[in-house]
Chains A and B, each alone.
Chain A
Amino acid sequence: MIRVALPYHLSNLAKVGREVAIEVDSPVTQRKVLDALEVAHPTLRGTIRDQATQRRRPFIRFFGCGQDLSHEAADDPLPEVIATGIEPFWVVGAMAGG
């Protein structure tokens, strides 16, 4: 199982906890994780990736293993500790000043 940590507003919208577990076939990639997340929780479609382009929304970031994975290719394998569920794949709302 892959662990996905959600930001506050998306866990509220999906009516789930701050972390959800989803099944993803190997090799585990960013695209597969997000596809599986949207199948399991359809209300999240369009909130992380633009529905038309499937690109990450500008103020969403993906973190894992202490690194920013936002700019990694969507079809590259994610780190093993995420793929094996040891660490979560973090979906994060970008910081906003003000």
Chain B
Amino acid sequence: MSGVRVLVGTRKGAFILTSDQERAKWDVSGPHFAGWEIYHIKGSPADPNRLYASQSSGWFGQVMQRSDDGGKTWEAVGKDFVYDGTPGTHQWYDGTQHPWEFKRVWHLEPSLTDPDTVYAGVEDAALFRSTDAGQTWQELPALRAAKGDLWSPGAGGMCLHTILLDPSRPERIYTAISAAGAFRSDDGGQSWRPATKGLQSNYELPDPQAEVGHCVHKIAMHPSRPDVLFMQKHWDVMRSDDAGDNWHEISGNLPSDFGFPIAVHAHEPETIYVVPIKSDSEHFPPDGKLRVYRSRSGGNEWEALTQGLPQSDCYVNVLRDAMAVDRLDSCGIYFGTTGGQVYCSPDGGDNWQAIVRDLPPVLSVEVQTLP
């Protein structure tokens, strides 16, 4: 393997960071789409030169971009995200029912096998799919039938932010939605059911064990064990060993179990990473120390990773889509901050360096491991 390409979405454009397998020297390209919010940019596992990007603006709405040359050039593609049939309603802040309204694309998940197929998670929460390289988009409407009338937006909006495709069962898809929960389909998105048994939201829900309404922040899996899922919930880090049928808490000795991203080591399915944040009231690291926590035991026992990270006066946040891993022999871990830094650890978290320090606030980080 020859190197990595890091795809960074920020509040003011996209940046592409490339390096060889040493990951010591970096080339920085960008800003692409300068001045626009890039919620997510991700490459196709089936064709690393095929990239998709979600470009949006409070003034000008949603634009979708596709690159066929690894991000050197881009083409605007389809942006018609029309809810299937009569959109229906969901719970609104005042307790009334409110019509579904498209706002933006939060997350893009290209197919594992077909570069022309890509899923999009949007706000107001719904799942769309394109099978023509982003020219047209069709909703998979059964997801919103999973008690969608009870979903209610959280402070960050009612966004579908996680899409996981099971590499061993092509018909199995997981999604997660802020303030609605986690969902699983076993038939390619034709039907869905909540996958929330065992989640406990004591401070966020009147019924702490409700089937929907949990504020799931991110879910991660290792491709070799797709039935094992790891979740960073609003509060609590959780694990499922049965494809989301049941969850149990693995927060263990974390200094705070609030946070946003969660990631799994590329070669060690029991090694996971989180970035503890003090609380939902104070979205910054505990004690002003930016620490990634690693568990090598699949949870409960965590160690702080600090070498190369600021250990005083640091008050940035790390958002849900802003952490990723590469697949080089020595697995690299990456994350971006709301302070504009993108950090890389080329040795599984032991040592960190800032690739860039002064980007706009980072919304998302993805990594491609290049042949």
Contacts and interface: CB of A to CB of B under 8 A. Distances in A.
Real binding pair: yes
Interface of A: 7-10, 13, 43, 45-48, 50-52, 57, 59-60, 93-94, 96
Nearest to A46: B61
Nearest to A57: B61
Interface string B62-93: 11000000000000100110100000000000
Interface of B: 35-36, 57-63, 76, 79-80, 82, 102
B59 A57 contact: yes
Contacts of A57: 59-61
A50 B61 contact: yes
Contact of B76 (A13, A48, A51, A94): A13
Contacts of A51: 61, 79-80
B360 to A, nearest CB: 14
A43 B63 contact: yes
A75 B12 CA distance: 36
Secondary structure at the B interface, as helix, strand, loop or mixed, is loop
Contacts of B82: 52
Contacts of B61: 46-47, 50-51, 57
Contacts of A43: 63, 76
A9 B102 contact: no
Contact of A59 (B35, B59, B79): B59
Contact of A9 (B35, B76, B79): B35
B87 to A, nearest CB: 10
A33 to B, nearest CB: 17
Contacts of B60: 9-10, 13, 47-48, 57, 60, 93
Contacts of A59: 58-59
18 contacts: A7-B59, A8-B35, A9-B57, A10-B60, A13-B60, A46-B61, A46-B62, A46-B79, A47-B63, A51-B61, A52-B102, A57-B59, A57-B61, A59-B58, A59-B59, A60-B59, A93-B59, A93-B60
Contact of B63 (A7, A13, A60): A13
Q: Which 5 A-B pairs have the closest CB atoms?
A: A47-B60, A59-B59, A43-B76, A93-B59, A46-B61
A48 B36 CA distance: 15
Contacts of A93: 59-60
A68 to B, nearest CB: 16
A52 B79 CA distance: 11
Given A51-B79, A51-B80, 7 more contacts: A9-B35, A46-B61, A46-B62, A47-B60, A48-B60, A57-B59, A93-B60
A67 B233 CA distance: 51
Most chain A CB atoms below 10 A, which of B58, B59, B76: B59
B208 to A, nearest CB: 37
Contacts of B63: 13, 43, 47
A52 B82 CA distance: 8
A96 B59 CA distance: 10
Contacts of B102: 52
B145 to A, nearest CB: 21
A48 B79 CA distance: 14
Contacts of B76: 13, 43
B79 to A, nearest CB: 6
Contacts of B62: 46
Contacts of A9: 35-36, 57, 59-60
Nearest to B36: A9
Nearest to A14: B76
Most chain B CB atoms below 10 A, which of A10, A47, A96: A47
Most chain B CB atoms below 10 A, which of A8, A13, A43: A13
A43 B59 CA distance: 15
B194 to A, nearest CB: 29
A47 B57 CA distance: 9
A50 B57 CA distance: 13
Nearest to A48: B60
A9 B63 CA distance: 12
A13 B74 CA distance: 11
